[in-house]
Amino acid sequence: MVTACEFLFEELAKRLETYLIETKTSWLRLHFSEVFQKSFQNNKFQELQNWCNNIIVKHPVTIFESESFTSIQENALISLIKRDELQMEEVKIWKHIIEWGIAQNPGIPPEPRNWSNDNFLTMKTTLQNCLPHIRYFQISSDDVINYLQPYRRMIDDNLWDDIMKKLLSPNRSVSSVILPPRVVLTQILPHRTSEPFSTIINETHAAEITSWIDKKADAYTATNYPYEFKLLRGTRDGFTPNSFWNLCDKQINIVVVAKIKGTDEILGGYNPIGWDKSASTSVHRKCKESFIFSLKNGTIQNSILSRVKNPKYAIDCYSSCGPAFGGSYNCELIFFSPSVCWNRLDSYEKRIRNISTYNFSGYSYFSLDEYEIFKISKKS
């Protein structure tokens, strides 16, 4: 799309934009942060910008609490904070805007009490296009004192006087423009708004996994599956056996998902009984309800569910590696380290990778880009 616009092939770029939104929503969600930022590098990508913003206003943590938040472009930030339906408290929006402004000026101290007059002037200039979109009159009196007061010199004098007048007398008329309050959406926000979104799976994937858990003939949809996914750990960084066991030892109802390096495959498994580190050597745990899987994604057109067929060897507990499933003499699906993982066919029903990836010994080796481990539970 970007290249097409550079060569003035605007009709092609528009067709690509429509194609992505209509047929590749799973891919867009898996690469959400990058897609969001890319879409604002060219103002012609209005549909993609709106698609991203319509998600963010309902689930603002996807961007505002992400590691990439401070690197988003100014026009992208403004497009969000000007939206009436942005589901975030006004004082939190203020704090994020300040955080973003400081990141654009690395020399400015994080605490305003340490700012010089030049620092305040620099921040006021940096945020001059953002500050008018704050709904100042919707910020509580305590938050005005605690959070706005330290930045007093960044706010127009007349506006600040009117804010204080309104705090003392809410019905008093003021000369400053009072933006309408944010609209609180009536629909129930997704159950994971307090947790970071998965960087590997989306709601459709989660619905499919939980349908397998409940052995549903008619699969749950992305909006009605009855489970909560609590992230125990994620990302490739810090992938060690110790980090796995410290968080997951004896935890039950665990879902592991992993993004495979060099492909768009997502592999994983469900362990309802948990792993137990108490044994010093590899020990199997019996389980009739576990399964491993490959999820539909991008070029992977169909998901593969592989249920356990030999429950005696369903779960492998080995303190020297990460999560492992099955195998009467060697693990069937194991995430040993980021660069040493494999799948083979033994105690579960099906292979979960393309047959061409398996060697003459029946092993399919792969490396990870990242992996996540969730503890799931029924919604209350």
User: What is the Cα 246 distance to its own chain's centre?
Assistant: 23
pLDDT of residue 60 exceeding 70: yes
Q: How many CB atoms lie within 10 A of CB 62?
A: 19
Give the CB-side neighbour count of residue 59, counting CA atoms within 13 A.
20
pLDDT in the model for residue 234? 54
Ranges of each domain in the chain? 2-168, 203-378
Give the three-state DSSP class for 17: helix
Tell me the sheet residues that pair with 275: 249
Ranking 12-16, 206-210, 276-280, 343-347 by mean pLDDT, the lowest is: 276-280
- Amino acid in position 96: H
DSSP assignment string, 79-140: HHHT-TT--S-HHHHHHHHHHHHHHHSTTS-SSGGG--HHHHHHHHHHTTTTGGGS-GGGS-
Q: State what percent of residues in the chain have pLDDT above 70.
A: 94
pLDDT in the model for residue 295? 93
Highest-confidence segment of 2-16, 101-115, 162-176, 331-345 = 101-115
Sorting pLDDT into bands at 50, 70 and 90, what band is 236? Answer: very low
Distance CA 129, CA 117 (A): 20
Sorting pLDDT into bands at 50, 70 and 90, what band is 186? Answer: low
* Per-residue pLDDT tens digits for 136-154: 999 999 999 999 999 999 9
Ranking 88-92, 277-281, 376-380 by mean pLDDT, the lowest is: 277-281
- What does the DSSP 8-state code read for residue 308? B
Over residues 23-41, mean pLDDT: 84
pLDDT in the model for residue 115? 94
Tokens of 10: 């605007």
pLDDT in the model for residue 197? 56
pLDDT in the model for residue 123? 95
Sorting pLDDT into bands at 50, 70 and 90, what band is 188? Answer: very low
Ranking 25-29, 59-63, 92-96, 196-200 by mean pLDDT, the lowest is: 196-200
Distance CA 198, CA 230 (A): 10
Strand order from edge to edge, sheet including 340-343: 283-285, 315-317, 324-325, 333-337, 340-343, 364-366
* Per-residue pLDDT tens digits for 160-183: 999 998 888 888 888 999 898 898
pLDDT in the model for residue 190? 47
Sorting pLDDT into bands at 50, 70 and 90, what band is 132? Answer: very high
pLDDT of residue 327 exceeding 80: yes
* Per-residue pLDDT tens digits for 243-273: 788 888 888 999 999 999 888 899 999 999 9
pLDDT in the model for residue 199? 81
Name the CA radius of gyration of the chain, rounded: 25
Q: Which residue has the higher pLDDT, 241 or 367?
A: 367
Tell me the sheet residues that pair with 370: 259
Highest-confidence segment of 186-195, 196-205, 236-245, 261-270 = 261-270
pLDDT in the model for residue 347? 93
